[in-house]
Amino acid sequence: MHTLFADSFATLGRLDNVTLVMVFHPQYLESFLKTQHYLLQMDGPLPLHYRHYIGIMAAARHQCSYLVNLHVNDFLHVGGDPKWLNGLENAPQKLQNLGELNKMLAHRPWLITKEHIEQLLKTEENSWSLAELIHAVVLLTHYHSLASFTFGCGISPEIDCEGGHTFRPPSVSNYCLCDITNGYHGVEEIHASPTGSIPSTESVCEVEALMEKMKQLQECRDEEEASQEEMATRFEREKRESMFVCSSEDEESAATRDVSRHFEDTSYGYKDFSRHGMHVPTFRVQDYSWEDHGYSLVNRLYPDVGQLLDEKFHIAYNLTYNTMAMHKDVDTSMLRRAIWNYIHCMFGIRYDDYDYGEINQLLDRSFKVYIKTVVCTPEKTTKRMYDSFWRQFEHSEKVHVNLLLVEARMQAELLYALRAITRYMT
């Protein structure tokens, strides 16, 4: 862990709070830092200040002031033009062109078509090259999902950034549960204290019930075989249901600082997949998967990044300590797969070989609300949501869930973007 911190400090010049939270899962953190370092600092098609600016653009889409502040500093540090920070319209036309893609990727990636890609790549003065575009897309998706993580775990601002000194973080999420600025051990202490004032018996039942369900599903899998139609409708139902799972409180908090300057069209947000009669065909993973297609494309145009992302997805998906709350030696693969597929389901990505009924069994409503909020509208996440799901689980497990959310979301966005690029190329 210390070497990880040391590496992180050496490359970032700081030990940021994201790192401090992620260190719950050092194996993942290592891969995460390696990827981020490669994307931001190593050889790549885009100049350094562009990379940070794209990071700012992406984070600003979710009004994530934490990431924006962080990258404004870095942007200026690598010699970026301060004027650009006054808003996207002050940036070069080339970056402005990327705004549309950024918007769609963040909120409705399924609408990206090869025409959008064509727009960006068509030969003119401000056009993008394929390699640059891939780099930009990876950066955008990386920061969209990192914004989800920031809100999902309630990362508080860095001590040297605006708001870092105040006790009440000015970021949109008004909680600082993992107020990690106090260091790693702060979290441990919170651990020890019982969360909230919920009677513990009830919550114990929660975990037991979940485990029971998992066991049941495991056993009855072979016996009860749902018909194909049933399976298809289950997917549709889950998709539809995910629309209604909505955070009830729509507290509209003003974006602090000047985060809003960095993005236009504030009204454009997550619209539920295929809500308004607009029919978007379901994305079948079997036809375009990360392992087979996405990887090859990325690695071809931006060498090594495919490998790094592949490792990161892999670690996130397979990470397990075989524990659940106070229980040991639990096979959590089913639960993890349900979470992963639920997120992809919200983006309209379907696995032919998955029974979406399982999701309903395993993920209760408050958990679904949390997932949906963090993934789709992270800026609306509240501490209450964080507290109210999986009450017995350790914080490290909740962070683990967040890692799953982050990676699943990133992969979903990437898949749509890469599919559009592939279609453009053929």
Partner 1 sequence: MEKMARVTTALGGNTLSGRTMFCHLDAPANAISVCRDAAQVVVAGRNIFKIYSIEEEQFVEKLNLRVGRKPSLNFSCADVVWHQMDENLLATAATNGVVVTWNLGKPSRNKQDQLFTEHKRTVNKVCFHPTEVYMLLSGSQDGYMKCFDLRKKDSVSTFSGQSESVRDVQFSIRDYFTFAATFENGNVQLWDIRRPDRYERMFTAHNGPVFCCDWHLEDRGWLATGGRDKMVKVWDMNTTRAKEIYCVQTIASVARVKWRPECKHHIATCSMMVDHNIYVWDVRRPFIPSAMFEEHKDVTTGIVWRHLHDPYFLLSGSKDSTLYQHIFKDASQPIDRANPEGLCYSLYGDLAFAAKESLISSDSNRKPYIGDRRHPIFFKRKLDPTEQFEYISSSSALSVFETDVESGSMDWFVHTAKQYALAGRPLAELCDHNAKVAKGLDRNQVAQTWTMLRIIYSSLGNVSSANLNHSMGKGSAALPLMNSFNLKDIPSGLGSESRLDRSKGESRTENILMDSSSTLINNEDNEETEGSDVPADYLLGDVEADEDDLYMMDHENPHAEEQEYSLPQEAFPLRHEIVDNPSALDHLQDKADSPHVSGNEAETVSLTPVESFSLISISHSLYENRLPSDFFSPIVRDTLLFYAEQGDVQTAVSVLIVLGERIRKEIDEQTQEHWYTSYIDLLQRFQLWNISNEVIKLSTCRAINCLNQASTTLHVNCSNCKRPMSNRGWICDRCRQCASMCAVCHHVVKGLFVWCQGCSHGGHLQHIMKWLETSSHCPAGCGHLCEYT
Q: Does 310 bind partner 1 (CB under 8 A)?
A: yes
- Residue closer to partner 1 by CB (options 404, 421) is 421
Q: Does 221 bind partner 1 (CB under 8 A)?
A: yes
Quick one: which of 43, 125, 252, 353 contacts partner 1 (CB under 8 A)?
Answer: 353
Strand, coil or helix: 324? strand
Task: Compute the distance between CA of residue 355 and CA of residue 292 in angstroms, rounded to an integer.
Answer: 22
Which parts of 227-286 interact with partner 1 (CB under 8 A)?
Answer: 227-229, 231-232, 284, 286
Shortest Å, Cβ 351 to partner 1 = 8
Binding segment for partner 1 (CB under 8 A), chosen from 13-21, 27-35, 292-300, 390-398, is: 292-300
Question: What's the min distance (Å) between Cβ of 426 and partner 1?
Answer: 5
Q: Is 296 in the site for partner 1 (CB under 8 A)?
A: yes
> Shortest approach of partner 1 to residue 222 CB, angstroms?
8
215 binds partner 1 (CB under 8 A): no
User: How far is 304 from 298, CA to CA, in rounded Å?
Assistant: 8
Strand partners, 328: 323
Q: Is 220 a catalytic residue?
A: no
Minimum distance from residue 76 beta carbon to partner 1 (Å):
27
How far is Cα 312 from Cα 296, in angstroms, rounded to an integer? 16
CB of 357 to partner 1, least distance (A): 14
**The two three-digit tokens of residue 279, written as one number:** 């029919």
∠ CA 147-148-153, nearest 5°, is 100
At 223, the amino acid letter reads E
Q: Which is nearer to partner 1, 160 or 291 (CB)?
A: 291
Strand partners, 283: 349
Q: Which residues pair with 349 in a beta bridge?
A: 283
Q: Which of 64, 153, 178, 345 is catalytic?
A: 64
Q: Which is nearer to partner 1, 258 or 311 (CB)?
A: 311
Using the contact rule CB under 8 A, the part of the chain among 37-45, 52-60, 112-120, 288-296 near partner 1 is: 288-296
* DSSP class of 128: P
Cβ-in-10-Å burial (0-12, 13-18, 19+) of 187 comes to buried
Spatial CB neighbours of 101, under 8 Å, sequence gap ≥ 6: 112, 116, 120, 136, 137, 140, 417
Give the number of residues in contact with partner 1, rule: CB under 8 A: 24
Indicate whether 219 belongs to the interface with partner 1 (CB under 8 A).
no
The tokens of 56 are what? 């700012």
Is there a contact between 330 and 322 (Cβ–Cβ < 8 Å)? yes
User: Which residue in the set 225, 249, 265, 331 belongs to the binding site for partner 1 (CB under 8 A)?
Assistant: 225
Q: If we measure between CA atoms, which residue out of 416, 422, 287, 418 comes closest to residue 352?
A: 287
Report angle CA 196, 198, 200 to the nearest 5 degrees: 115
Among 87, 264, 422, 424, binds partner 1 (CB under 8 A): 422
* Tokens, residue 224: 């009860």
**DSSP codes joined into one string, 203-216:** HHHHHHHHHHHHHH
Comparison of 202 and 287: residue with beta carbon closer to partner 1: 287
Per CB under 8 A, the list member of 297, 345, 362, 406 interacting with partner 1 is 297
Report the nearest approach of partner 1 to the CB of residue 74 (Å): 25
Can residue 313 be called a binding residue for partner 1 (CB under 8 A)? no
Catalytic residues: 64
User: Which residues sit at the interface with partner 1, rule CB under 8 A?
Assistant: 221, 225, 227-229, 231-232, 284, 286-287, 291-293, 295-297, 300, 307, 310, 352-353, 422, 425-426
